[in-house]
Chains A and B, each alone.
Chain A
Amino acid sequence: MNLFDCKLSRNVFGKLTIMTQNQIPEEVVPVRAFPITAAGEGIALVDNQGHEVVWIDNLAELPATERILIEQELVSREFMPEIKCIDSVSSFATPSTWQVQTDRGETCFILKGEEDIRRLSPTTLLITDSCGIHFLIRDRSALDRHSNKLLDRFL
């Protein structure tokens, strides 16, 4: 199905809905196919059962209203704070509590073990905290010296 053929809107329960061919509104959820490597490309709208309803090649190609609706929904669903700066770590031995600045504000989390830091590429790291939340370090070399020094102790 092409998105241009169907109407996307938000219902009173705050869910995105789409008009199906038989004119029944169906709740859909936008999902990114490559959340880290290509966030803007490849977005699927899936229904409650997880079946794909619409595929969007590129978010930028959509008309503004649709794009804003989808972006809003993504913002309230996606949660992968990007670490901008590591302020301090409680100890170099794990488990250790990290105080960090992220693109979503300041927070702290507990790193259970060094193996929870995974290398996605030589410079991209994904850190899983004790409750399973993923923190992303998109580019290690872009971190400041202090952060890098702290991080280095765990790598």
Chain B
Amino acid sequence: MQSNTGDLPHTTFPDFPSRWQTQINSTLSEHEQIHAWLEIDLDNRLNFSSGLVVITAHRVLARMANDENWQEWLCREDMKLTCQDHAGVYSIELSDTHARLACWHCTLGRHQAVDQLISCFSRLIATHTVRPNTAAAESAGSKAPDDTSASMDNGERSSASDQEAITAPPSSWTLFRLWRFARPYRWQLFTGFMLMLGSTAAALVPPYLTMPLMDNVLIPYQNGHPIDVDQVTLYLSGLLAAAIVAWILGWARTYTLAKVSERIGADLRTTTYEHLLKLSQAYFGGKRTGDLMARIGAETDRINLFLSLNLLDFATDVLMITLTVVILVSIDPWLALVTLLPLPIIGWLIHLVRDRLRVGFEKTNRVWAEVNNVLADTLPGIRVVKAFAQEKREIERFRTVNRRNVEINDRVNKVWALFTPTVTLLTECGLLVVWIFGIWQVSQDHITVGVLTAFLAYISRFYLRLDSMSRIVSATQKAAAGTKRIFDILDHVSSVPEPVKPVYLPAMKGHIELHNVSFRYGTRWVIQNLDFTIESGEMIGLVGHSGSGKSTLINLICRFYDVTDGSILIDGVDVRTLPIAEYRKHIGLVLQEPFLFFGTIAENIAYGNPAASRKEIIAAARAAHAHEFILRLPYGYDSLVGERGQALSGGERQRISIARALLIDPRILILDEATSSVDTQTEQEIQSALDNLVSGRTTIAIAHRLSTLQEASRLVVLDHGRIVETGSHEELMARQGHYYQLYQSQSRSSNDENRSDTAEKTMDIRSNRV
């Protein structure tokens, strides 16, 4: 290391910011090496500014861009480098046991560098403590850069590639990405294309035939020659034949290509949905349902329409124009040149409007999603809206969004409406040019009247095509915008990825270990450094205020999210290496708000295992104490539930969801406030159903009512994402700590409830007596 850096004493890191290079070199003594560095982007008043913090073997150096000199602190063993984050800003503090020495700030984007800096510093301080003499520290220091630089490199590299993935804008040729979906149908597409070529060519025959008809039949007749009936029959039957061939081929072409595009659209829709369902919970947390529904429904339909109609037409048009140009040039190059003159002008016009239209259509898409969002917000919450009598306000909100919708569409229509008439005008002008040039040419005897007629016949078709081609502009833009929004979903890599080399657990025991687990949601640390083991078959109660990280912990264990730091091991295997679907099959989840899908009760119970026999379903329902109330329903297990289905009470729905969890016979059971939304009576029923469920399984239960956790062998008390206490109910009560306070405050309020209950009862008794 020393010899390597002999000529370049201080360049430990190849990616060290170059603008700091000279400044730092003049400060460092010879052989003093940079162990870690952090480029900070905020000053102490949190204004954007640049600065650098550097750690070498014995000191910490810092300088802001507008400072005169470096500030330095010599490393001492009582020093500590800590960091906190709040509202997207890291505050890094250097302090010793007496006071804070310095404080720096940077934005969250630099978290990896911050982590490196802090871990490097604590390592250095540790070596100082073990071997306080400088010589030893020197030797340790010279060794340290190796591994810091290596780990730093790794960290930086991954962050750099992450950054790239985030910043790279999507290609403007988004539509070509649809090829991925078209590939399976390439032979049908090829056939369709050949049919298109044939039908287009056939359609170009009739104008060509007008030329001999004019020159060989009509004009000689005008000049006194009789009409040659055979020749006329030949030409006219040619016209008829061409029309019939064009008709048959056109039908075959449209049918083949429409069929293919329909399949491409369906594939696109299914693939997007499939991908969407595989995305992590975090993705759904950040999106609104209305928007996602619009993307999968309306956008795929728009793309489909584009492929089957607009693109097909466009391809025909291009083919037609190419063939026409070839024919025109072959007849008379000069006249062809004049005819084609307006083409670039129209092309330029199309290009001009294209941009404005695309922006407009993206806006209409977005505002449309907004309209959907208002609906998706209000309709599920209709009870709240009605209860607070806020219908008017919601209508007003809808009206506002709708007004914006109209406004934006108006703006787009203004540009769009101008477009088609302009093309028509240019068409007329083009025809005029051809007439002028044509008449002059005829008068000069350069061309025959027949040639001019043929040209005019071609040209009117030609410009008609341009007119319809202009429609492709808006359609392409719409479809491209839609494709982009679809690929936004498809390009989103799940933050909970499937393992590359999955590890299969033949039989899961349900032993859970949490190693130094931390989790950050956005800029907020929800869970910090949890270390914790749950034995197989043990029942754990998670206790804590709301917001203490209980539900997040469960989401992490279910792998709805991945840990930010640390690891979760199941039977000694990291959850991230287990195939997701297979792993979740071992988890039974009973939530506070049980969700029933539309379908029969039997289907709902068998949701986790659709192959379950009727016997198994009934057994699960019995164990969940749901059997009897199900039998009381008019159609028993075949009663329809879920949206628009049979109305069930909260307790009943909960017992169905318990039966659902029981049926898959999970090794790990998670009860997230399973009984908190029901009354005490129902709670007892559910509790006994749960007892059946819990036995012999690793169970993690969250409960607001601490009394429901008495079965738990251990209680874990969480506060602000950290474990503050663990132990049985008795132990924790004896400790008189966090749990004791929680319990006390709850029993006090429940006593109050009981007292009022008894008061009511005595009232009842008295009134009865009276």
- Which A residues contact B (CB, under 8 angstroms)? 12-14, 49-50, 75-81, 90-97, 102, 104-107, 110, 112-115, 130-134, 153, 155
Contact = CB atoms under 8 A, between A and B. Distances in A.
Contacts of B98: 12
A114 B365 CA distance: 12
Interface stretch (B67-75, B82-90, B426-434, B652-660): B82-90
B48 A102 contact: yes
Given A77-B89, A92-B359, 10 more contacts: A13-B93, A76-B91, A79-B89, A94-B169, A95-B169, A97-B167, A115-B288, A131-B108, A131-B523, A133-B108
What 5 pairs across the A-B complex have the smallest Cβ distances?
A: A105-B48, A12-B99, A133-B88, A91-B169, A132-B523
A90 B88 contact: no
A115 B523 CA distance: 18
A112 B108 contact: no
Contacts of A113: 488
A17 B55 CA distance: 31
Nearest to B169: A91
11 contacts: A13-B100, A76-B105, A77-B87, A79-B86, A79-B88, A93-B170, A95-B167, A97-B167, A131-B111, A133-B89, A155-B366
B359 A13 contact: no
Interface of B: 41-42, 44-49, 86-89, 91, 93, 95, 98-100, 103, 105, 107-109, 111, 166-170, 172, 286-288, 291, 359, 362-363, 366, 484, 488, 522-523, 719-720
A106 B93 contact: no
A107 B40 CA distance: 13
A105 B105 CA distance: 15
A95 B492 CA distance: 12
A129 B176 CA distance: 29
Nearest to B359: A153
Contacts of B167: 90, 95, 97, 110
A75 B45 contact: yes
Contacts of B100: 12-14
Given A76-B44, A76-B46, A93 B169 contact: yes
B45 A76 contact: yes
B129 to A, nearest CB: 21
A75 B363 CA distance: 38
A131 B85 CA distance: 12
Contacts, number: 94
Contact of B86 (A77, A105, A114, A153): A77
A95 B362 CA distance: 15
A102 B42 CA distance: 13
A79 B103 contact: no
A27 B651 CA distance: 46
Contacts of A77: 86-87, 89
Given A113-B488, A132-B522, A133-B88, A90 B169 contact: yes
A104 B88 contact: no
Interface centre among A14, A97, A106 (most CB of B within 10 A): A14
Contact of A155 (B49, B99, B363, B522): B363
A78 B286 CA distance: 24
B523 A133 contact: yes
Interface centre among B41, B47, B105 (most CB of A within 10 A): B47
Given A113-B488, A115-B291, A134-B88, A96 B169 contact: yes
Contacts of A134: 87-88
A115 B366 CA distance: 9
B720 A50 contact: yes
B307 to A, nearest CB: 21
Given A97-B167, A115-B291, A133-B107, A81 B93 contact: no
Contacts of B286: 115
